[in-house]
């Protein structure tokens, strides 16, 4: 297991370093924002927009900072002193804010995570941290759900992982069909949750209680 974590962490670090080296400069980003402002029909040089390119670049560093963080490292510290506990661990209503990779518009909602420990547990905040790291990248909800489940499953190697994500997409409500208050639900199950319908049902009952 330690060898797996080392290999995954090393690969992640190398990827982040490569991506960082290939990033455009801040000046290039701000110039691109000015071009977009002009394309909308506005004047990038007017008072209200002069500092907008700088603010957008700074905001993007925060909104998409997940590309330069490692979800594997977030789960690397675990605890084996669990007093023999081997039942479900569930985090409900974890806020999710991400951006659709098709239109770069937000989708917002909640994620529920459950897993059955296999002799060790991870700090509860670390599970929420994994959600944040993947969410602060350009995503589809389906891919985001799968990434969270796969990472928890591969790093913690529990007896099962269950994820349910429910979100509303601005690319559907602000443009296109412009349908408001439409929720998208995605799920991913591994181990016990995948193989035993009763465990899936228990998970769904607990998050809807």
**Annotated domain spans of the chain:** 2-63, 78-208
- pLDDT of 8 higher than 60: no
The pTM of this model reads 0.88
pLDDT in tens, 36-84: 999 999 999 999 999 999 999 999 999 999 999 999 999 999 999 888 8
Phi and psi torsions of 18, nearest 5°: -65, -45
CATH number of 2-63: 1.10.286.10
**Is 100 assigned to a binding site?**
yes
> Other C-beta atoms within 10 Å of 39: how many?
9
Q: Which residues are catalytic?
A: 100-103, 141, 169, 171
Give the pairing type, strands 121-122 and 78-79.
antiparallel
Q: For residue 70, say whether it is annotated as part of any ligand binding site.
A: no
- pLDDT computed for residue 82 by the predictor: 86
Q: Phi-psi category of 151—alpha, beta or left, where left has phi over 0 and alpha has psi -120 to 50?
A: alpha
Q: Which of 14-23, 141-150, 177-186 has the highest mean pLDDT?
A: 141-150
* Pairing relationship of beta strands 138-139 and 89-100 according to DSSP bridges: parallel
Strand partners, 138: 99
User: How deeply is 20 buried, as exposed, middle or buried, from its count of CB atoms within 10 A (0-12, 13-18, 19+)?
Assistant: exposed
**What span, in angstroms and rounded, lies between the C-alpha atoms of 21 and 67?**
13
**Class in CATH terms, 78-208:** alpha beta
Among 188, 56, 200, 44, which Cα is nearest to 111's? Answer: 188
Q: What pLDDT does 1 receive? A: 47
Q: At 98, is the pLDDT very low, low, confident or very high (cuts 50, 70, 90)? A: very high
Q: Average pLDDT for residues 114-132, to the nearest whole number?
A: 96
Percent of the chain with pLDDT over 90: 82
- Residue 54 labelled as part of a binding site: no
């Amino acid at each position: 297991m330690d060898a797996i974590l080392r290999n995954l962490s090393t690969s992640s670090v190398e990827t982040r370093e490569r991506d960082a080296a290939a990033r455009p400069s801040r000046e290039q980003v701000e110039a691109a924002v000015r071009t977009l402002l002009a394309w909308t029909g506005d004047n990038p040089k007017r008072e209200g927009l002069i500092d907008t390119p700088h603010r957008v670049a700074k905001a993007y560093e925060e909104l998409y900072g997940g590309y330069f963080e490692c979800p594997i490292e977030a789960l690397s510290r675990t605890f084996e002193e669990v007093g023999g506990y081997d039942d479900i661990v569930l985090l409900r209503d974890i806020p999710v804010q991400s951006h659709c990779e098709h239109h770069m518009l937000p989708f917002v909602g909640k994620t529920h995570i459950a897993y059955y420990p296999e002799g060790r547990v991870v700090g509860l905040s670390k599970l929420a941290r994994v959600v944040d790291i993947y969410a602060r990248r350009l995503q589809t909800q389906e891919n985001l759900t799968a990434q969270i489940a796969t990472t928890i499953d591969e790093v913690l190697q529990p007896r099962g992982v269950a994820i349910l994500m429910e979100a509303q997409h601005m690319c559907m409500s602000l443009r296109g069909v412009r349908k408001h208050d439409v929720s998208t639900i995605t799920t991913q199950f591994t181990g016990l949750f995948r193989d035993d319908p009763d465990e899936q049902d228990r998970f769904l009952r607990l998050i809807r209680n």
